[in-house]
Structure 1
Amino acid sequence: MSAELVALMLADARLPTGSHTQSAGLEAAVRDGLADDGRRLADVARYARDRLRTVVRVEAGAAVVARHLVLTGRDPLEVVVHWAARTPSPALREIAGRTGRGYLRLAERVWPAVLRHLPRDTETPRPVVLGVIGAVCGLDAAQVARLTAYDDAQSVVAASLKLLPVDPAAATGWLVDLHPDIEACATAVAGLTEPGDVPACGAPVVELLAERHAVERMRLFHG
C-alpha cells in the first residue's frame, strides 16, 4: 500500500476509529459563547486556527518524534511523558488516549506491524499511534505532521455542522482557508527527532474548557 493512500485513508473522517465522537473542543467552546449562537460563525475558523498554533503543534510534534523513534530502533513510548508534560489537562490526555485506542484497534486489523512497537488495545495517546502508523506505512515526517493538523481542523469544521447553523459549503471554505496554517504547523515540527524537542505551546482556555466539558451531563461529543 502506498504512503499516499495511507495518508488519504487516515485523513478520512469515515475511518472507524471513533473520531466522529470528537469535536476538538468546539462543543465546549460553543457552550462558552463562541460563535454567539450562530451570529459570529467566523469564530469557528479562528478557533481552529488557534488550535493549530497551540495544542495541535504539540500533538503534531509528538507524532513526528514517535515516527522517528520507530525508524531509529527506539521505543516510541519515550515521547509520551514529554507530550503529557505539555498537555496539562487530564481531560485532553484522556481524549487522546481514547482516540489512540481506536486507532490501535484499527491498526491491529489493517497495519498489524504497528503492534511490534506499541501494546495492543491500550490508551496510547493518539499522536504517538499516528506517528507509529506513519513509520510502519512509509509516511514521511511532513505527511505525519500534516495529517495530525488536518485531522484536528476537519474535526472542528465537521462538528460545527452539528452545533451551529452552518452552510456546509461555507464550512468547506473555512477548511481551505486553514491550509496555510496547517502547512505552517507541519513545517514547524517536521524536523523534530528527540522527545524533548516537542513544542510547549500552551492553550489554557482550551484546557479549561476541556475540563468543564468532561463533567457535563448533557453533551453531543465526548471532547
Structure 2
Amino acid sequence: MTDPQLVLAMLADARLPTGGHAHSAGLEPAILAGLSGDGRRLHEIPALARTRLRTITATEAGAAVAARRLWLRGRRDLSPVETAWCARTPSAAMRDTARLLGRGYLRLARGLWPDAFAEFVHERPVRPLVLGVVGAVAGLDARQVALLVGYDDVQTIASAALKLVPLDPVHAMRWVLDLQPDITAMADGVASIAAPEDIPASGAPVLDEHAEAHARTTRRLFHA
C-alpha cells in the first residue's frame, strides 16, 4: 500500500519522465505574441497562470476528476470524458499537446502500475484521462487529482519562465506560492464533478489563438 499524499508529491515532481519539460503551459506562445517578461511587467506571467487556472486548467482538471470517478465505478471506456474535454478545447494545437503529454503519462503509469493499467484501453489518450485513472489507482481523492493538475500547470509556467526571460528563481517560486489560493479554488470548484457533461467549459480564445500560432512557428524553445 502507498500513501496517497506521498504519491501526490511524487506526481507533482517536475522531474517526471513524462515530457512535461518540453512544454511551457502556454507561456512561450504568449511571450511570442507580446506578453512581457521584463522587470517592470513580470506580473503578466502569474496573471497568465491565473487566467489558465480559471479556464483551460479547470477544464482539464474537471476531465481528470470525471475520468477518476468513472474508473472507480468500473467504467473502462472513458471516451465520453475525452469527447467532452475535446468539445471544450477548440484549439487543435492544445489537443495535440494533451495527447503528447498523455502518452508520456501513460508510459509512466504502465511502468508504475502495470496490472491496473492493463485494463486501460485508450492508446492515444489526452493527459487528463491518464491522470484521472492514476488518481483512482493511487488512492488520490478527486480534490487531490484537481490540485495535481493545477499545480502542474503553474509550476510548468514558472519553470519555463526561468528559460525564457531574465528572472531570479525566487520570483518564480513566489508566483507558485502566491497562486496557491487560485489553485485550491479551482480544485474545490471541480472536485464534485460526477459526469462528463459537468466538466467546465470556460474558454480562453486568445490563448487558443496563441497556441495555434505557436504550432506553426519553427523558432521555438518549447513544443507548446
Q: Using structure 1 for the length normalisation, give the TM-score.
A: 0.96
Mapped pair 1:118 → 2:116: no
- Residue identity matched to 2:219: M
Corresponding residue number in structure 2 for 1:22: 23
- Residue identity matched to 1:112: P
- Residue identity matched to 2:185: A
Corresponding residue number in structure 2 for 1:208: 209
- Residue identity matched to 1:49: R
Contact 1:17 1:106 in 2 (8 A): yes
Report deviation, 1:77: 2.8
Q: How does 1:98-109 map to 2 (within 5 A)?
A: 98-109=100-111
Deviation above 6 Å: which 4+ runs of structure 1? none
**Stretch moving more, 7-16 or 37-46:** 37-46
Query: 2-side partners of 1:114 and 1:158: how far apart?
Result: 32
Corresponding residue number in structure 1 for 2:41: 40
Corresponding residue number in structure 2 for 1:93: 95
Q: Using structure 2 for the length normalisation, give the TM-score.
A: 0.96
Contact 2:110 2:118 in 1 (8 A): no
Mapped pair 1:149 → 2:150: yes
Report deviation, 1:36: 5.2
Q: What is the aligned residue count?
A: 222
List gaps (5 residues or longer) in structure 2. Answer: none
Mapped pair 1:76 → 2:52: no
Corresponding residue number in structure 2 for 1:135: 136
Corresponding residue number in structure 2 for 1:188: 189
Alignment CA distance shift 1:36-1:148 (3 Å): closer
Report deviation, 1:144: 0.2
SS at match of 1:33: coil
Alignment CA distance shift 1:72-1:214 (3 Å): same
Query: 2-side partners of 1:23 and 1:217: how far apart?
Result: 16
